Amino acid sequence: METYDVCVIGSGAAGGMAAWNLASQGARVVVLEGGDWVKPGQFIGHKPPHAFDSRGLAGEYTRHLFTPEPFKMEGNAAPFRFGVLRAVGGKTLLWSAHVFRFSEHDFQSARKLGASIDWPVRYQELAPCYARVERLIGIAASPQSHPNVPDSVITMKSIGLRCADHELMRGLAKLKRGYSLFPIPKAINTQGRDGRPACHWCGHCNYGCEVDSKYTSANTAVPKAVKTGRCQLVVNAHVVKLEASDGLLSAARYIDAASREERLVTARAFVLACGPIETARLLLVSGLANSSGQVGRNLMSHINPFVQGYLPQLEGAKVVNDDGTDNFHGIIPDVYWNRPSGQFAGGYHIQTTGGAQQGIHFGRGVEWAAQIPGFGEQFKNAVRRRLPALVGLHPQGTMPPSAKNYVELDSAGKNAFGLPAPRILMNYGANEESMARDMIARSSEIIEAAGGKVTTRSPRLSHDPFHYVGTCRMGDDAKQSVVNRHCQAHDVANLFIADGSAFVAYPEKNPTLTVMALALWSTDHLMRLSKRGWKG
C-alpha cells in the first residue's frame, strides 16, 4: 500500500485549492471525494421552466445533484436545509462566485461580535494568499478603494450593474447617509481566460455553469493538481473514520460507493476540507482533536431577510439582456463597520437585483405577479409591464458566534454508509432579530428613496444554508480552540482543517474567498513542517 505525503478529504473550495497548492510544491497527494464528476448534461440550467413539473421552482434545477442525508434539526432557526453535494468541486459547482476579501477590521472584531477568543491571524498575513487565489481563479471587478472591502487582484473587467441598480444609486444619493453601491466582484470570466470561455449571461450560475465560465474547483484547481502528476483523485470515496497511531493520524478509512468495499488510505499528513458540518461529524466519529470540547461548537451562518418591490419609472421598459450572471450584480457595503449600531453587534451588506432576473430566477418570484389585480389579457399586459421594473434588496448579516449553536452526533440515525447523522442546533437571538428589523427598514427606505414601491418583506427570519462556518475554530489557546493559527490541530500535529470550520467569527461578507486563502495558508505551513517533522 502506497503511503502518500498528504491525504486531502474533499474536493470543494478548500480541498481543490489545498490539493493544487500541495501538488504544485512537490507533495504526493491523494484526494478522497465522496462523489463523482458531474458529467455534461447533469447541469440543467438551460432547460426552460415549462419543461419541469413545477415550472423550475423549489430547487428543481439542482435537487438531483444533492445526496439525501439524514439529520436532526432543532432550535428556533429551524426549519433549515442541510444538503451534501458529493461531487468533484463540491458546492463551488453551484456557488454565486462572489469573492470578497475579509478586511483588517473583520479580523479584529471577533470579541465585539461576542467571541470568547480573537482571530489569531491578521489581514496583512493573509493578503498574499488572497492574491494567489485571485490570480488562479480570475476576478471580474472594478477597483473601489473601500476601507472595509479590500480590492482584489483584478484580472478582468467587472460585471456591470443593472438598470435597477442605477435607479437605486440615485435613491442612495438622496438619503445622504454615506451609502455606496458598486458591482460585486465575481470569479466569473467576462473574457476568455485559462481555457474557459467568457460568460454568455444566461444567469444560471446557481444551477451549475454549463460552459465553465464560472470558476469551480472541478474546472480549475483539481485538474491543475492532477496535471502535475503528483495528485491522485479517488471519486466515490465516502470517508467513515480517521485512524491515529502514536498521537498522529495514520489512515483514512472509506467505503467505495460502487463496490461497497471498505478501503484504507495511509498518508503522512491529512487535510480535512469537508465543510463545517461534515468535518465536525468526521472528527466526532473518530474521537479526534477535541480535548478543548470545541469540535462542533460555534456554528454560524449569515442571516438574510429580503425586501422586494418595483420602480414605476421602469414599468413598460423594453426587457433587455441585462440579466447577466446570477441573482445579484450590485452590493451596498456595510455602513456599520466603523459606526456601530448600538442596537446590535456586527453589520450587514445589501445585495441588489432587479428586472427580469428578479422575476424569473427567485423561487418566490411568482409572488410579484400574484399581487397584480385583474385577469385575462389585461392581467398579462400588466405583468409584462411590471417585469422590467422589479427590484430586490437582499441584506446579508453577521450571526455572532455562540457555543449554543452546534453540531453533534445523533445516535438514533445513520446515513447510507453507517455514519451517525448530525444533530444540528441553531437559534436566533435578540441580536439577529434586531439586525433583521433594521435590514428590512433600511432596505425599504432605499427602494422608496429611489421612487419605488415596496410589495414584499420577509415573512420570517432565515439564514443561508450554504454559508455555514465555525465548528473547529482556530486560536492560540488549545483549551479554547481546535486548531492553531495555521489551521493545524492542537491535539494531532499532522492534521490540518482547511475549510470554513476554522472561522472564529463571521463578518457580513461571503466566506469562500477566505476559505480558499486559508487553504493556501494552512497547506503552506504543512509543507514547511513536513521538512522538519510535525512539531511547531
Answer yes or no: are the C-beta atoms of 239 and 9 closer than 8 Å: yes
For the chain, report the end-to-end CA distance as a whole number of angstroms: 29
d(CA 182, CA 348): 15
Strands 495-497 and 262-272: parallel
Per domain, the residue ranges of the chain are 160-185+304-397+427-462
What are the φ and ψ backbone dihedral angles of 252, each rounded to 5 degrees? -115, 125
Establish how many alpha carbons lie within 13 A of residue 473's alpha carbon, considering only the half-sphere containing its beta carbon: 29
Strands 330-332 and 348-354: antiparallel
DSSP per-residue letters across 107-153:
HH-TGGGT-SS--SS-HHHHHHHHHHHHHHH--B-----BTTBPPP-
Q: What is the pLDDT along the chain (536 residues), one digit of tens a residue?
A: 789 999 999 999 999 999 999 999 999 999 999 999 998 788 888 887 777 776 666 577 788 888 878 888 888 886 666 668 899 999 999 999 999 999 999 999 999 998 999 999 999 999 999 999 999 999 999 999 999 999 999 999 999 899 999 999 999 999 998 899 999 999 999 999 999 999 998 888 888 999 999 999 999 999 999 999 999 999 999 999 999 999 999 999 999 998 999 999 999 999 999 999 999 999 999 999 999 999 999 999 999 999 999 999 999 998 876 768 888 999 999 989 999 999 999 999 999 999 887 777 654 456 788 888 889 999 999 889 999 999 999 999 999 999 889 999 998 888 888 889 999 999 999 999 999 999 999 999 999 999 999 999 988 888 888 899 999 999 999 999 999 999 999 999 999 999 999 999 999 999 999 999 999 999 999 999 987 765 54
Any idea which residue has 458540518 for its cell? 277
Whole-model pTM: value is 0.95
Torsion of CA 404, 407, 412, 415, to 10 degrees: 160
**DSSP assignment letter at 33:** -
Cα angle 448, 454, 458; round to 5: 125
Set of cell numbers at residue 511:
466566506
d(CA 38, CA 89): 9
Residue 276: other Cβ atoms inside 10 A: 27
